[in-house]
């Protein structure tokens, strides 16, 4: 089964059932910079910031890409301060003009990965972390089941980006060739090239593998893609770490019930009725006793608080929240509505509650 990487069809296809997936035509740009390194992987922890380094970008790298659209050039370099001990840099001339295209680490900006496109050039830069293999092909199990959550003490990727014309940064987390998850964020255009910090919560990744998403406690490879800007867009990335961000922590109904001081708002609208924080806490504290309206309300309250705290729901969750509100608005008065087994709306309420529960509780 071919899966479009990051759902960006013009870029690369995801790995099939095999262990590795080539990026495309080899053009002889690959090189290996030899340096002593112990086998395994290196994780440099920064205790004060409670982050763990994925790559310091101290080891420099440089690729001049082919002028022909559709061709990928690459360079594999031993990088002792990078996760897995090696960084594979791949630059693809995706389309547009025939002009200069360069990918580098540490040359345009210090300790930074950059994609520099000539006028009108459309391109992508990929950083692949899959262990010591001296190959741009993705070894989907090369990191040997790495726990990027570090026992639950990390719950997000964090990085800083900039782009003159705007672009996207996407991350793919592989457990193996058939289990992987993706997340993507838009980088706003900024001709001054001022870096902005971006955080991807593990809980906001979407399953994309043919057999499901990745287990973030058993990671086999990481791929970061800088791509999809307009012709001529330059984009850079630095400060690549994992971290703990409370926005992506436990967001279950029980968490919100037991942590009233963490609430980002003092009222919520459920259905057609606005409830105070005190009323919502009372609702979360009462037993459902089979009432589907309460079961749904538990998860809807948690979902809305998670969004207010900074979670970014995918369209399917946005639709589920809207559907939950519509169902609750079909009843007169305030919760609870005593929706028992004979009510035709019960099945939909329980199904939506289950969908929201998956959003509220981190999957890693």
Beta bridge partners of 146: 219
Please report, in tens digits, the pLDDT of each residue of the chain (364 residues total): 333 222 222 222 233 233 344 443 333 322 222 222 222 333 333 333 489 999 999 999 999 988 888 889 999 999 999 999 999 999 999 988 888 899 999 999 999 999 999 999 999 999 999 999 999 999 999 999 999 999 888 989 999 999 999 999 999 999 999 999 998 889 999 999 999 999 888 877 888 899 988 999 999 999 999 998 999 999 999 999 999 887 777 788 988 998 898 899 999 999 999 999 999 999 999 999 999 999 999 999 999 999 998 888 888 899 999 999 999 999 999 999 999 999 999 999 999 999 998 888 866 5
Angle between helices 292-309 and 315-329 (to 10 degrees): 140
Predicted TM-score of the model (pTM): 0.69
Residue 363: predicted pLDDT = 60
Q: Which long-range contacts (CB under 8 A, 24 or more apart) does 279-283 make?
A: 281/257, 283/335, 283/336
């Amino acid at each position: 089964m071919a899966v479009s990487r990051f759902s960006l069809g013009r870029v690369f296809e995801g790995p099939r059932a095999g262990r590795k997936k080539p990026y495309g035509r080899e053009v002889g740009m690959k090189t290996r910079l030899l340096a002593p390194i112990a086998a395994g992987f290196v994780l440099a922890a920064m205790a004060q910031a409670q982050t763990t380094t994925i790559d310091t970008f101290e080891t420099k790298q440089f690729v001049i890409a082919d002028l022909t659209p559709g061709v990928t050039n690459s360079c594999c370099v031993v990088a002792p301060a990078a996760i897995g001990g090696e960084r594979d840099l791949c630059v693809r001339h995706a389309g547009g003009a025939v002009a200069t295209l360069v990918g580098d680490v540490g040359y345009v900006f210090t300790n930074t990965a950059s994609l520099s496109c000539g006028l009108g050039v459309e391109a992508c830069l990929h950083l692949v972390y899959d262990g010591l293999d001296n190959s741009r092909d993705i070894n989907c199990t090369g990191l040997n089941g790495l726990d990027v959550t570090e026992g639950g003490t990390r719950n997000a990727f964090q990085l800083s980006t900039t782009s003159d014309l705007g672009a996207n940064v996407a991350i793919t987390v592989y457990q193996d060739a058939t289990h992987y998850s993706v997340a993507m964020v838009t980088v706003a255009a900024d001709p001054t090239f001022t870096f902005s910090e971006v955080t991807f919560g593990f809980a906001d990744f979407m399953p994309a593998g043919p057999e499901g998403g990745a287990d973030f406690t058993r990671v086999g490879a990481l791929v970061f893609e800088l791509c999809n800007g307009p012709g001529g867009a330059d984009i850079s990335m630095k400060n690549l770490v994992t971290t703990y961000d409370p926005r992506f922590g436990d967001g279950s109904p029980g968490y919100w019930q037991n942590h009233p001081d963490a609430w980002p708002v003092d009222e919520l609208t459920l259905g057609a009725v606005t409830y105070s924080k005190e009323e919502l806490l009372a609702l979360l504290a009462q037993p459902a006793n089979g009432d589907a309206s309460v079961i749904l309300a538990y998860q809807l309250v948690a979902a809305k608080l998670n969004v207010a705290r900074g979670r970014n729901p995918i369209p399917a969750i946005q639709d589920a929240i809207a559907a939950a509100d519509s169902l609750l608005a079909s009843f007169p008065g305030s919760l609870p509505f005593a929706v028992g087994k004979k009510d035709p709306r019960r099945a939909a309420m329980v199904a939506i509650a289950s969908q929201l529960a998956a959003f509220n509780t981190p999957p890693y």
